[in-house]
Amino acid sequence: MKKVPSLFLLVAIFFVAYTQLAKGQPQPRHDCKSRCGNVTIEYPFGISTGCYYPGDDVFNITCAEDKPNVIENIEVRNFYHSGQLRGMLPRSTVCYDGVRNDEFSSLWFQLDNLSLSTKNKFTLVGCNAWALLSTFGLQNYSTGCLSLCDSSSVPNNKCNGVGCCRTDVSVPLDSNRLEMQPARFENMTSVKHFNPCVYAFFVEDGMFNFSSTEDLENLRNVRQFPVVLDWSIGNHTCEQVVGRDICGGNSTCFDSTRGKGYNCKCLQGFEGNPYLSNGCQDINECTTSSSIHKHNCTDPKTCRNRDGGYYCKCQSGYGLDTTTMSCKRKDFGWAMILLGTTIVFLVILLGASLIKQRLRHRKDIELRQQFFEQNGGGMLIQRLSGAGPSNVDVKIFTEQGMQESTNDYDESRILGQGGQGTVYKGILPDNSVVAIKKARLGDRSQVEQFINEVVVLSQINHRNVVKLLGCCLETEVPLLVYEFITSGTLFDHLHGSTFDSSLSWEHRLRIAVEVAGTLAYLHSSASIPIIHRDVKTANILLDENLTAKVADFGASRLIPMDQEQLTTMVQGTLGYLDPEYYNTGLLNEKSDVYSFGVVLMELLSSQKALCFERLETSKHIVSYFVAAMKENRLHEIIDSQVMNEYNQREIQEASRIALECTRLMGEERPRMKEVAAKLEALRVKTTKHKWSDQYPEENDHLLGVQILSAQGDTSSIGYDSIKNVAILDIEAGR
């Protein structure tokens, strides 16, 4: 009785083996190695006997040093079931620089049962050179291209016959030996210094971009290029091997693009290796994440998978609409009942929502009032009423208006983020563009900082300070509305990629004068002295005329008239923070002077305040400048776009002013009014130099008038250019 099952099993095994052999499907062993390095080896290719298709040795892969090689030294990077593989072919080289090397001028190789795909290009790199491609077989074939150039100024990224040429490859299939040979025309010594070698090679189209600045001299470092090779099974078409092809189940045979042999591919709805007996497996379109094989049923729950495809199954009483691939009810008898029920339900729902909306509106009013108090509305009114003259143009905006102007605070509207909050771009109903600052709140002190900024800005009326248009206290996080400055921050212009950093010396000096004058105004001429406490290039905005606008007064402090300094929690930005203020906590106007000195150094050098790529002792820009001044190499750190032969003295003087501002002891630093006066004097000198360069005769006349005025009536033309202009810049307001 036990012999019957054994006999049945033997017959089944024999039948399967016979079926496979009859169809011509030898299969690989189960223990075959499937990887060589990072490359997957799949049948009909294999690494050892019994693992590759025995019909052709081209499928026998040699794995040496984790690199798969087909034929001889053709390294394979990828295998494709469609009848192609990507490999690496060496290039042919001939050098004329007298350097002995192991490269050779002529290179040939065997393709055996592989063919060069038409996706490849035969390419030559070199000046005044030519390259020849020859094939040998039943039918000989030759082609080539020519490259000419007179000098090293070869167009970049163009392989059009100047420094580089390429031609299409159409090699006869019966040619199994190919030879590449580059050469240069005789007596062409003028190009050898920048193009010592000439190179010829095959490369897949689109995989080589010619660079004249690198490839003419350094292509010798690249020894192999990617190429696409075509392969096929045997020498017969699908019609000639019908019933005997090696294509597995759920696959089909198609004639190779080589013109001989065939390849296999999985049927639609299947994927896998078509050369294995069970290599093509069904794709479950209902669960796959692939966009290529995804189903188009409107309701994913109706999708049903089947071999080679899927279908959309509707529940009982519904039929499939093939136009929309959705399920629709077959019988519309219950539709009217459902419609009536829906209408009644909607009426009840509408009434409930109206009541809920009215209650919500009342709750919103109460919530907005609560936020107004939490955000310091009462404190703001009290401080504005007792702070002296205020900005009469300050407007109170509504929460709804702020949401509409910022598109509900969309991320695309964010202009910048900092320690004091996030700034959005807003568009008001009159189409005016504003900047809306959303403060960061976490405790009571931050509420006071927000109110402090409103109070401070309400006391400032200066053309170089960002104008406060209004605020909104009805939101959970309070908002400030400023005028919109179009050209970004000074930091962006000096260090960013958004704007062109080509600020001239006149632009930079004018910006420095404007910022210094503004700080001097805040310290000396405002109704109550104000210390900014966070002066940095990121808080200096530039308008369309590159006029400086000082912004972000969230950390600023009002100084009582009877005090010269305050003891306060240290606040500011590393790199700009006054070291004396950092160590003692004593805040005075000299802290802003130090920060301005750092800004002036950035304007001169276009270097960041802190840069960890510089030497250990020069990571801070102040140390960087001090070392350069001591070693008499200031010219090395000044931006090359700033310094020229006419303004070196002015730049030296500006650098000394910056060093004076950043002295360690605050009492040794000048006041901002003195700094503004010195910088304005430099600006006058720069203007005179520029005028004298362009109009030398008029300049001589002007100097003569000034000398006469100084000797005679001083009230006619002459004036103290340093003091008067500086005072105008410091004290002028809107």
Gap between the Cα atoms of 602 and 704, Å rounded: 38
Q: Span 313-337, mean pLDDT? A: 74
- pLDDT at residue 612, rounded to an integer: 84
Residue 89 buriedness (CB in 10 A; 0-12 / 13-18 / 19+): buried
Question: In terms of domains, do 661 and 606 share one?
Answer: yes
Q: Please, which residues bridge with residue 530 across strands?
A: 558
And the tokens for 188?
């062409």
- Yes or no: say if 586 and 580 are a contact pair by the CB < 8 Å rule: yes
Gap between the Cα atoms of 167 and 408, Å rounded: 57
* Residue at a domain's end among 208, 230, 252: 230
Q: Please, which residues bridge with residue 489 across strands?
A: 541
What 3-state class would DSSP assign to 427?
Answer: strand
**Cα 207 from chain centroid (whole Å):** 23
Domains in the chain, number: 4
* Longest CA–CA separation in the chain, Å: 140
And the tokens for 169?
């490859």
Q: Tokens 């005072």 label which residue?
A: 727
**Residue 336 domain flag:** no
CA-nearest of 133, 135, 192, 134 to 165 is 133
Residue 639 neighbours by CB under 8 Å, 6+ apart = 604, 605, 606
User: 499-502: which pairs have CB atoms within 8 A and are 24 or more residues apart?
Assistant: 501/606, 501/641, 502/641
pLDDT digits (tens, 9 = 90+) for 112-154: 788 888 899 999 998 889 999 988 877 788 889 999 887 767 8
Question: In terms of domains, do 404 and 534 share one?
Answer: no
Omega of the bond prior to 389 within 30 degrees of 0, cis? Answer: no
CA-nearest of 221, 223, 218, 217 to 200 is 223
What 3-state class would DSSP assign to 168?
Answer: strand
List the single range of 46-50, 67-71, 192-196, 650-654 with lowest mean pLDDT.
192-196
Show which residues are catalytic.
Answer: 534
Question: In terms of domains, do 174 and 319 share one?
Answer: no
**Residue 733 domain flag:** no
Gap between the Cα atoms of 524 and 564, Å rounded: 12
- Does residue 713 register a pLDDT over 50? no
CA-nearest of 197, 163, 167, 204 to 182 is 197
And the tokens for 519?
């700080």
User: 714-722: which pairs have CB atoms within 8 A and are 24 or more residues apart?
Assistant: 721/680, 721/681, 721/684, 722/677, 722/678, 722/680, 722/681, 722/684
- Yes or no: say if 423 and 436 are a contact pair by the CB < 8 Å rule: yes
And the tokens for 97?
């620089």
Gap between the Cα atoms of 435 and 423, Å rounded: 6
pLDDT digits (tens, 9 = 90+) for 261-295: 999 999 999 999 999 999 999 999 898 877 777 88
pLDDT digits (tens, 9 = 90+) for 595-609: 999 999 999 999 999
**Cα 545 from chain centroid (whole Å):** 28
- Averaged confidence pLDDT in the chain: 80
**Residue 226 domain flag:** yes
Please report the sign of the dihedral spanned by the C-alpha atoms of residue 593, residue 594, residue 599, residue 602: positive
Which 8-state DSSP code applies to residue 532? -
- Does residue 726 register a pLDDT over 70? no
- pLDDT at residue 595, rounded to an integer: 95
Question: In terms of domains, do 651 and 538 share one?
Answer: yes
Question: In terms of domains, do 517 and 470 share one?
Answer: no
pLDDT band of 405, cuts 50, 70, 90: very high
The DSSP line for 109-123 is: EE-TT-EE-TTEEEE
Q: Tokens 């080289």 label which residue?
A: 93
pLDDT band of 441, cuts 50, 70, 90: low
pLDDT digits (tens, 9 = 90+) for 23-36: 456 788 888 998 99
Domain with 471 in it = 371-483
In the chain, how many H helices and how many E strands? Answer: 16, 36
Q: Cα(first)–Cα(last) distance of the chain, in Å?
A: 113
Question: In terms of domains, do 513 and 475 share one?
Answer: no
Question: In terms of domains, do 507 and 414 share one?
Answer: no
pLDDT band of 731, cuts 50, 70, 90: very low
- Does residue 519 register a pLDDT over 90? yes
Gap between the Cα atoms of 370 and 476, Å rounded: 9
CA-nearest of 106, 118, 254 to 173 is 118
- Yes or no: say if 673 and 510 are a contact pair by the CB < 8 Å rule: no
The one-letter code for the residue type at 2 is K
And the tokens for 438?
């959303």
Q: What is the pTM of this model?
A: 0.47
Question: In terms of domains, do 513 and 589 share one?
Answer: yes
CATH of the domain at 293: 2.10.25.10
Question: In terms of domains, do 303 and 442 share one?
Answer: no
Residue 301 buriedness (CB in 10 A; 0-12 / 13-18 / 19+): exposed
What 3-state class would DSSP assign to 550?
Answer: strand
Gap between the Cα atoms of 693 and 209, Å rounded: 47
Residue 618 buriedness (CB in 10 A; 0-12 / 13-18 / 19+): middle
Question: In terms of domains, do 494 and 562 share one?
Answer: yes
- Does residue 365 register a pLDDT over 90? no
- pLDDT at residue 40, rounded to an integer: 92
- pLDDT at residue 479, rounded to an integer: 86
CATH of the domain at 445: 3.30.200.20
Q: Which of 111-115, 256-260, 510-514 has the highest mean predicted lDDT (pLDDT)?
A: 510-514
List the single range of 19-23, 92-96, 247-251, 358-362 with lowest mean pLDDT.
19-23
Question: In terms of domains, do 504 and 630 share one?
Answer: yes
Which 8-state DSSP code applies to residue 300? G
**Residue 166 domain flag:** yes
**Residue 36 domain flag:** no
**Residue 53 domain flag:** no
**Residue 569 domain flag:** yes
Gap between the Cα atoms of 424 and 568, Å rounded: 30
Gap between the Cα atoms of 561 and 506, Å rounded: 36
Residue 85 buriedness (CB in 10 A; 0-12 / 13-18 / 19+): buried
pLDDT band of 641, cuts 50, 70, 90: confident
Q: Span 59-68, mean pLDDT? A: 88
Q: Which helix (H) or strand (E) holds 548?
A: strand 548-550
Question: In terms of domains, do 102 and 209 share one?
Answer: yes
**Residue 62 domain flag:** no
- pLDDT at residue 586, rounded to an integer: 87
**Phi-psi category of 209—alpha, beta or left, where left has phi over 0 and alpha has psi -120 to 50?**
beta
And the tokens for 536?
């940095």
Gap between the Cα atoms of 131 and 106, Å rounded: 10
- Yes or no: say if 661 and 596 are a contact pair by the CB < 8 Å rule: yes
And the tokens for 187?
């007596």
The DSSP line for 308-337 is: TEEEE-PPTTEEEETTTTEEEES--TTHHH
Q: Span 92-102, mean pLDDT? A: 67
3-state secondary structure 581-636: HHHHCEECHHHHHHHHHHHHHHHHHCCCCECCCCCHHHCEHHHHHHHHHHCCCHHH
CA-nearest of 556, 381, 385, 591 to 473 is 381
Alpha helices in 431-504 (DSSP H): 444-459, 490-495
Omega of the bond prior to 529 within 30 degrees of 0, cis? Answer: no
